[in-house]
């Protein structure tokens, strides 16, 4: 089954679910990418118009979109919003309201993307062209401690565990805390059909870790780390990029 077929199957299955549309949030970027990033939740105000644009309308967009007609080159570079290429035209700055910059999280996503694809001089936010992003929790919150977590169980069972989300050769779980891991249970292994193999520390620092997981036939690599927003070192991003390049799983 092709990735496009698994994507359409997921949309069809979610169409029949009675949960709120926000629970069915699919994600942003290219569904045909090799790299999937799973964050914790969008760091925006749940009551804002931005939530309606980015979260509430997401499933409807993908459910009514022909993937064959999506082309990043045809998207306008005027910071307009599309789930396929959000805010195209942003540049590699932290947003200050007037510099066409982006969020701190997307800033780090782009730095990681530049390292993976060796784009040393790239100053654009263009990782959406070869990355797909989703969230463990579809309810946005400016702070994780205040987040409404009602959607998480549904998303683990019906969204993240789907064949579509297990079709990415590279998955980065950018945020620990929403997956139960103990001696008797490992939700990351169960949901993504992978096995933990190794924990690594950057510069021997416990606050800069990442965990490596592989599927049985070594065709999928999953890397789990802390949220890629505050306190992320360049060395951590470099090591994650190295792991991904060394996997030889990228086709793009």
- pLDDT higher than threshold 90 for residue 13: yes
User: What is the rounded average pLDDT of the residues 30-45?
Assistant: 96
Give this prediction's pTM: 0.97
Residue in 205, 251, 39, 228 with CA at minimum distance from that of residue 135 = 39
CB–CB of 134/24 below 8 Å?
no
Residue in 130, 135, 224 with CA at minimum distance from that of residue 171 = 224
pLDDT in tens, 114-126: 999 999 999 999 9
* For the chain, domain boundaries: 3-247
**Bridge partners of 51?**
none
| Whole-number average pLDDT of the chain | 96
Domain made up of 3-247: CATH architecture: 3-Layer(aba) Sandwich (3.40)
pLDDT at 176: 80
Whole-angstrom Cα Rg for the chain: 17
Q: Measured between alpha carbons, how far is residue 172 from residues 1, 55, 91, 163, 190 in Å?
A: 23, 21, 23, 16, 16
Q: Residue 158, Cβ neighbours under 10 Å: how many? A: 16
Q: Percentage of residues in the chain with pLDDT exceeding 70?
A: 100
Q: Residue 166, Cβ neighbours under 10 Å: how many? A: 18
User: What is the rounded average pLDDT of the residues 149-175?
Assistant: 97
- pLDDT higher than threshold 90 for residue 151: yes
DSSP one-letter code for 17: -
Number of H helices, E strands in the chain: 7, 7
Residue 16, SS3? Answer: coil
What is the CB-side half-sphere exposure of residue 42 using CA atoms within 13 A?
23
pLDDT in tens, 67-82: 999 999 999 999 999 9
- pLDDT higher than threshold 90 for residue 57: yes
For residue 200, what are the contacts with CB-CB under 8 A and spacing of at least 6? 209, 210, 211, 212, 239
């Amino acid at each position: 089954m092709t990735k496009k077929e698994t994507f359409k199957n997921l949309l069809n299955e979610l169409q029949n679910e009675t949960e709120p549309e926000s629970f069915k949030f699919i994600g942003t970027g290219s569904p045909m990418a090799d790299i999937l990033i799973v964050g914790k939740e969008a760091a925006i105000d749940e009551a804002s118009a931005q939530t309606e644009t980015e979260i509430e309308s997401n499933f409807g967009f993908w459910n009514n979109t022909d993937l064959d007609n999506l082309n990043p080159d045809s998207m306008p570079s005027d910071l307009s919003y599309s789930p396929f290429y959000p805010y195209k035209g942003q540049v590699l700055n932290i947003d200050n309201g007037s510099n066409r910059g982006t969020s701190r999280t997307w800033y780090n996503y782009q730095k990681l993307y530049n390292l993976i694809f060796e784009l040393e001089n790239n100053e654009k936010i263009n990782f959406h062209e070869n990355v797909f992003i989703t969230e463990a929790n579809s309810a946005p919150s400016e702070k994780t401690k205040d987040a409404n977590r009602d959607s998480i169980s549904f998303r683990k069972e019906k969204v993240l565990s789907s064949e579509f989300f297990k079709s990415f050769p590279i998955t980065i779980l950018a945020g620990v805390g929403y997956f139960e891991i103990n001696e008797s249970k490992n939700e990351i292994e169960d949901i993504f059909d992978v096995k933990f193999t190794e924990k690594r520390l950057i510069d021997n620092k416990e606050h800069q870790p990442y965990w490596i997981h592989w599927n049985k036939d070594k065709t999928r690599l999953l890397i789990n780390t802390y949220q890629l927003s505050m306190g992320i070192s360049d060395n951590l991003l470099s090591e994650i990029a190295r792991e991904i390049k060394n996997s030889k799983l990228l086709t793009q």
